[in-house]
Amino acid sequence: MIKIYKDKTLFLPTCLYIEFNDIFFNCRTSQYIDDRAKDIVRDIDGSELCGKYTIKSKFNDAILDIDKLSTGCKTALNILYNPKAIVNISSCGDNALEIIYNLDDGFIFCEYPNIPFSFNKVEIIDKNGSHIITDYDELLSWWKTK
């Protein structure tokens, strides 16, 4: 289940925090890509993972370097391959958020509500501790509280 932070002071400086997903993916995560990435690449970018470092574009079937994936796709992959890191999701679109919020494990951060309409359950973490949320409106309300 995804765990959500909205306050950096609850985890910095003690945790690995990924703020710049493109750079982190290109420099670190891309070297670990395996079959677990296939569904995420397909579902978010509509591309096909061809090899460890290549994808087939959905637009013209061109073979591209994996660094051409969208930021949202790279963010989801950063979460998948770095499950103990806290990953900033502020640059993700709705298609990536749908996948991210339904991952089995991982930590995310965003200072404002960046929520897909559909998710199973998430764990929120704030100064009062943590608890499970399964409802969009409840999660939106939590995000709006100070």
What pLDDT, in 10s, does the model give residues 86-120? Answer: 999 999 999 999 999 999 999 999 999 999 998 99
pLDDT at 15 over 80: yes
pLDDT of residue 125: 96
Using only C-alpha atoms, the chain has a radius of gyration, in whole angstroms, of 15
Burial 101-131, CB ≥16 within 10 A → b, else e:
beeeebbbbbeeebbbeebeebebbeeeeee
Distance between CA atoms of 113 and 139, rounded to whole angstroms? 8
Q: Note down the domain range covering 36.
A: 2-144
Extract the tokens encoding 49: 């993972």
Among left, alpha and beta (phi > 0; psi -120 to 50; other), residue 46 is left
- CB of 7 within 8 A of CB of 59? no
State the total domains in the chain.
1
pLDDT above 70 coverage of the chain, percent: 100
* SS3 state at 14: coil
What's the pLDDT score for residue 146?
A: 74
Q: Is the confidence at residue 29, as pLDDT, over 90? A: yes
Residue 81 has pLDDT above 90, yes or no: yes
